[in-house]
Chain A
Amino acid sequence: QSLLTQPPSVSGTPGQKVTISCSENNSNIGFGTVTWYQQVPGTAPKVVMFPTGNRPSGVPDRISGSKSDTSASLAINALQSEDEAHYYCAIYDHGVNGWVFGGGTRLTVL
């Protein structure tokens, strides 16, 4: 099964840009299905970036995503306090017909 690796934490001050990376140990899987989720403590995760690179309604265009065959990144521009949360990347593993999540990255707005 694939393993997705994220940095445990990133931080930035209001107005800055931060980038969260997601890498994968199985080059046969790829990031065609990579989705990014945001989770505020005590609540359920929600989608902030679709595999297509589009954002759900309500997600600001300050948030963008990019990907290659073996990695993906989520960038948050013009950082705001409301962005403080955990962010998870996930892919759909057709080998097991299920989802694989990264370990999550805690974003702190200083």
Chain B
Amino acid sequence: QVRLQESGPGLMKPSETLSLTCSVSTGSISTTDFYWVWMRQSPGKGLEWIGSMFLGETTYHNPSLRGRVTVSGDMSKDHFSLKLTSVTAADTAVYYCAIAAQSVLLYWGQGTLVIVSS
């Protein structure tokens, strides 16, 4: 069974760089051809795609985040990471990592809350 677990700082100050890690346990399922994805959900709001990585090399990010996003990963170690620079209060959200097959976000972590506050 696929399990994902996010880890992160919890509380941050404005202008800092958010770093999150997703540990992936895939059991007998091979996920090497899947997208590794970061999503977020602001309090009381909807879901937003942040960025993703394919085959451990090609990365994509949401244009609305204006180049603040870096997604990286080490598939041999079964983890991938997110860096989001220059955070503001608007970046306060529950951050999820997920694994997608083609267009479907199949597996999700439980999410980690990140609060940006001075």
Contacts and interface: CB of A to CB of B under 8 A. Distances in A.
Q: Is the interface of B mostly helix, strand, loop or mixed?
A: strand
B104 interface: yes
Nearest to A52: B104
Contacts of B1: none
Interface in B65-118: 96, 100, 102-106, 108-111
B16 interface: no
Contacts of B62: 96, 98
A91 B39 CA distance: 14
Interface string A54-95: 000000000000000000000000000000000010111000
Contacts of A92: 102-103
A101 B96 contact: no
B3 to A, nearest CB: 12
Interface of B: 37, 39, 46-49, 51-52, 60-64, 96, 100, 102-106, 108-111
A38 to B, nearest CB: 12
A1 B65 CA distance: 13
Interface of A: 1, 33, 35, 37, 43-47, 50-51, 88, 90-92, 96-104
Contact of B47 (A50, A51, A91, A101): A101
